[in-house]
Chain A
Amino acid sequence: MKLFTRYNRVNLALTAILLVLSAAAYYLVINRILIHELDEELDDYKQKIETYANNTGGLPEKGVMEDLVVKYETGQPSVPLHYLTTREYDSDEHKMEKFRQLVYSQKAGSNLYRVTIAKPLEGFRLLAKTIVYSTLGILAIIILVSLVVNHFLLKRLWRPFYDSIHTVRNFRLHGKNPPRFPGTKIEEFDFMNQSLDSMLNNARTDYHSLKEFTENASHEIQTPLAIIRSRLDLLIQEESLSEKQGKILDSAYAAIRRISKLNQSLLLLAKIENNQFAGAEVIDVKKELDEKIGQFQELWQDNHIEITANLKPSHITANRELVDILLNNLLGNAVVHNRQDGTVTIDLAPGRLTIRNTAVAGELDKSRLFRRFYKAEQHTHHNGLGLSIVKQICEHAGIRISYHFEKGLHVFSLEWPQPTST
């Protein structure tokens, strides 16, 4: 519910209650005034009767006054003068009517009369009706006006708010440009924009220092590695090396390669998490896979692994570099964690890629599979980051990845939404 809709509801309910109350108050006040007037009129007539009785010793003819009903009764006990409202049958209009009566005792000659002067309260119904209708009318007008205001005026009033939300939504930490919030004439919006601006700029600053840190860390580790490796590269040029020394150097090379790989993988994870791989494009997955399988062919032959690829045309919108790494890791895993004379089956369909490979051991631990440094077997040459990189890339690219174990096969399934225009 929009803020104003909610405000409007409360406001309208209150307005309605107030209107009804004021209508009731009006009715009561006006009613009072009218009755007071009526009473005065009745009083006037009583004066006339009294004067007549004093002068003539009799009572005036009934019905002289237009809509006045006058009654004289004898033999009644004396009553004090009083006013009252009654309902009586109106013979002219053939229905029950409300009357205002003045009752008092009048002496005329030697007789004591009880005089009742009554006048219908005709105007009151009209009054009540008028007040009810005008109240409803005003209510309707208020609702209508508030709807119109809501539609045209408020949309404009709230525009700076929606503009700001739009800016925040489109804001990317790794984007080149700082967010821009236009100035508004509304204090609250200005305040909000200033807060958002400083928050986003702080985030940007933090992000950039984090990125710098990652790169510096990489620099710090890679440089000594580069020195060690280059030194080894020089060392092996020596003519006088023995075979034994050669073997020692070989394992030193392997260790450097592992550290270097590990460092690269950690940096890659950080970079994906930091969203540093912007720029998605539509990629022909079939073409990429064909190339990859070609590259891996030699490896497969060497391990005597049989590969079956069933590739249908398929596309994905993602970062090219990441898709490349993703396929490398998945196919690499399928080969490395395979047994001698095993199989790899790759099925590609629009929006779906399934890779099955024969397992060395049993099912992998699903809950820990994608965690960093997870190793099913203590393979010395693998750092256990491959699948967490895969997972990270999938999250980044909006791919759903799942694993299950089926008849001695590890099955990794990837699903993604097909790009609309291929």
Chain B
Amino acid sequence: MKLLVIEDERDLSESICTYLGQEQFICETAYDYDAAMEKIHLNEYACIILDIMLPKGSGIDLLANLKEEGKSEGVLIISAKNSLEDKISGLKLGADDYLAKPFHLAELGARVAAIIRRKSFDGKTRITIDNLVLDISERSLKSVAGQVISLTRKEYDLLLYFISNKNRVVTKEAIVEHLWGDDIDMADSYDFVYSHIKNLRKKLTQAGCPDYIKAVYGMGYKFVIGS
């Protein structure tokens, strides 16, 4: 699946491409308005990651142009302009999601995965990964054998987050922000995430799955699925 990253900061663009490229995505980059415009018109992408402030033009104009042409690509706006107006005008113009900088790459991964799921799996709402079958619309989990594994809302969200970022290390901080939002001023430690991880891991192993969740250096977790 091809992604287009429209971001003028080359370092950030490269980070995004490297991170998302570790999974099934092929990333193309555009560093300014004109280059982005050209790529949009020449190719089809599964998802476009779009910065608002670009050299030679605004990402908002680009988005408007894209929607005028009737292109169906999913668009995720990433912007440092954390202003409500940009967010509203972006979403009104048909962007699928909005993420303010600085974000965690894992969060970006989860959002991109969600957009692609919405866009390209219309009708088909099941994800099968290794021994797990996730039903996105019902928000439920079964094992391949058909056994229902009942999860709490937080556990389900956590699992989906892990799957969207599978085989990559995700920090506790990123998990907390994903599950509780970054407005909540959390305590000094993120240890309370551990109990959720522990419960999820227990439920998965009890259903006969391998232990997917690996703790990494005490700072995060990795959802490991062999290829």
Contact = CB atoms under 8 A, between A and B. Distances in A.
Interface of A: 215, 218-219, 222-223, 225-231, 233-234, 236-237, 241-243, 245-247, 249-250, 253-254, 256-257, 260-261, 264, 267, 271, 276-277, 295-296, 298-299, 301-303, 321, 324-325, 328-329, 332, 335-336, 380-382, 386
Contacts of A299: 184, 186-187, 192
Interface stretch (B68-76, B97-105, B119-127): B97-105
**9 closest pairs, A vs B, by CB?**
A246-B217, A230-B15, A226-B102, A222-B80, A226-B101, A233-B105, A332-B185, A225-B102, A219-B80
A260 B173 CA distance: 13
A264 B184 contact: no
B180 to A, nearest CB: 6
Contact of B80 (A223, A271, A380): A223
Interface stretch (B37-45, B81-89, B110-118, B134-142): B81-89
B144 interface: no
Nearest to A386: B185
Chain A residues touching B, majority SS: helix
Contact of B12 (A215, A223, A261): A223
A237 B22 contact: yes
Contacts of A247: 217-219
Interface of B: 9, 11-12, 15-16, 18-19, 22, 53, 80-84, 100-106, 168-169, 171, 173-174, 180-181, 183-188, 191-192, 195, 216-220
B183 A241 contact: no
B220 A236 contact: yes
B103 A226 contact: yes
Given A229-B103, A233-B104, A267-B82, A381 B188 contact: yes
A234 B183 CA distance: 25
A381 B189 CA distance: 10
A295 B11 contact: no
Contacts of B100: 222
A217 to B, nearest CB: 10
Contacts of B218: 243, 246-247, 250
A241 B101 CA distance: 26
A298 B153 CA distance: 14
Contacts of B219: 236, 246-247, 249-250, 253
Given A236-B169, A237-B168, A215 B183 contact: no
A328 B15 contact: no
24 contacts: A222-B82, A225-B102, A226-B12, A226-B80, A226-B101, A226-B102, A228-B102, A229-B105, A230-B11, A230-B102, A237-B19, A241-B217, A246-B219, A247-B219, A249-B217, A253-B171, A295-B181, A299-B187, A299-B192, A301-B192, A324-B183, A328-B185, A329-B185, A336-B185
Contact of A234 (B18, B101, B173, B180): B18
A298 B81 contact: no
Nearest to B185: A332
Contacts of A295: 180-181, 184
Contact of B15 (A227, A382, A386): A227
Nearest to A265: B185
Contact of A328 (B12, B81, B183): B183
Contacts of A229: 102-105
A243 B217 contact: yes
Contacts of A298: 192, 195
B7 to A, nearest CB: 9
Contacts of A245: 217
A277 B168 CA distance: 38
B217 A230 contact: no
Contacts of A218: 80-82
Nearest to B189: A302
